[in-house]
Amino acid sequence: MKEDLLKYLVCPDCRTPLALSSVLKTEGEEIMEGSLGCPRCSVSFPVRGGVPRILAGNEYRLKEETKNRFAFSWKKFSDIYEDPKDFLDWIHPKTRDFFKDRVVLDAGCGSGQHAVFASEFGAREVVAFDLSPAVDVAFRHSRTKDNVHVVQADMYRLPFKSDYDFLYCIGVLQHLPDTKEGFRRLRSLLKPGGWMSVWVYGYEGAWFIRRIVDPARKFVMSRLPLPAILSLSFLLTAILYFLAKVVYGPLSRFRPAKHLSRRLPLGDYLSYMSAFNFTYLFNCVFDQLIAPITQYFKEEEVRGWFENAGLKDIGLTRRNNISWRATGRNPG
């Protein structure tokens, strides 16, 4: 943790700025071991492995499973990203240039690679947080970036000031028990004029996932140990990868047959994924199968979160026919 991060941190309960209470080990600019405290409530939060862990309180059903399963996933798939193509597609219509000089929050950062991209696109500072020990991977990925900070924190108990020009939350809200509440809490961190972008699983167009994949996740995968799910995901990925490369990809690129690829199950998605490598698809399949909580949202629900939160200039687009990406601005 760089000392600079303190300017963004508050006590998740009383919102008093947190202070450093002890520094036990440093490496260059990074405080590797120590603690932070709230001068008002006298609670203390450890800094371990270079990351502040601001976690206590707010237990919910399946929270521990969510934490452990995503930690396993990110440790297994820590180095899958090579370029920001998918990141930019998730936050479309925002572009690289949009990051210039903005203070950015990556909510539910997973491996932290998006925070690194944000920094490379010219963000002034990036704060990335996640519930799970994936933050250790995020810390490792972002260590060389002076303006990226990583925190272990819970969406329902955010230890941040309302300081953000741009906040994005990719693939996280669908794994919360109360999505509206998670959205509301995130939205409260926007500066006047600040933008928020989210990407979530869609209800529309995803019948194959909802009817076939999701029941398997709920009734079979939730009972299996993670290494067994990993093996099953490998087999499933091998089939999907073959179909993507040999059937969907070529069909979608061959103009007269393009409409045919779109009519096949997961047509747009597998055509899009035909451009990615095996490991990337493997990670997506595994994540889909391990999450203890997964929800699918209709267009009007997603729009409703933005409208009810008073956001303006709302833009909502369908992605690969099975998910929604949306953005909106805090009018202040």
Chosen residue from 103, 131, 137, 302 binding ligand SAM by CB under 6 A: 131
215: which residues sit within 8 A by CB, 6+ positions away?
Answer: none
Return the H-helix or E-strand segment holding 170. Answer: strand 164-170
User: What's the min distance (Å) between Cβ of 274 and ligand SAM?
Assistant: 20
Chain residue at closest Cβ approach to ligand SAM: 110
Binding status of residue 282 toward ligand SAM by CB under 6 A: no
| String marking each residue 38-77 x if it binds ligand SAM according to CB under 6 A | ----------------------------x---x-------
Q: Which C-beta is closer to ligand SAM: that of 113 or that of 271?
A: 113
Q: Per residue in 178-200, is it b (16+ CB within 10 Å) or e — as a string? A: ebeebbebbbebbbeebbbbbbb
Strand, coil or helix: what is 9? Answer: strand
Binding status of residue 154 toward ligand SAM by CB under 6 A: yes
Q: Which C-beta is closer to ligand SAM: that of 50 or that of 110?
A: 110
CB contact at 8 A, 63 and 51 = no
| String marking each residue 76-115 x if it binds ligand SAM according to CB under 6 A | --------------------------------xxx-----
Residue owning tokens 């709302």: 314
User: What's the min distance (Å) between Cβ of 38 and ligand SAM?
Assistant: 20
Chosen residue from 38, 155, 167, 289 binding ligand SAM by CB under 6 A: 155
Number of residues that bind ligand SAM (CB under 6 A): 18
Binding status of residue 268 toward ligand SAM by CB under 6 A: no
Chosen residue from 1, 54, 134, 273 binding ligand SAM by CB under 6 A: 134
CB contact at 8 A, 169 and 198 = yes
Strand, coil or helix: what is 275? Answer: coil
Chosen residue from 170, 186, 302, 309 binding ligand SAM by CB under 6 A: 170
Q: Which C-beta is closer to ligand SAM: that of 174 or that of 261?
A: 174
Binding status of residue 284 toward ligand SAM by CB under 6 A: no
CB contact at 8 A, 285 and 236 = yes
89: which residues sit within 8 A by CB, 6+ positions away?
Answer: 319
Residues 71, 284, 158: CA angle, nearest 5 degrees:
45
Q: Which C-beta is closer to ligand SAM: that of 65 or that of 299?
A: 65
Spatial separation of the C-alpha atoms in residues 24 and 21, rounded to whole Å: 10
Spatial separation of the C-alpha atoms in residues 4 and 7, rounded to whole Å: 6
Q: Which C-beta is closer to ligand SAM: that of 21 or that of 68?
A: 68
Chosen residue from 123, 172, 190, 206 binding ligand SAM by CB under 6 A: 172
Binding status of residue 132 toward ligand SAM by CB under 6 A: yes
Strand order in the sheet with 164-170: 19-27, 30-37, 44-48, 51-54, 148-153, 125-130, 103-107, 164-170, 190-201, 323-329, 312-319
Chosen residue from 47, 123, 176, 200 binding ligand SAM by CB under 6 A: 176
Provide the residue count of the chain.
332
Binding site for ligand SAM (CB under 6 A): 66, 70, 108-110, 130-132, 134, 154-156, 170-172, 175-176, 287
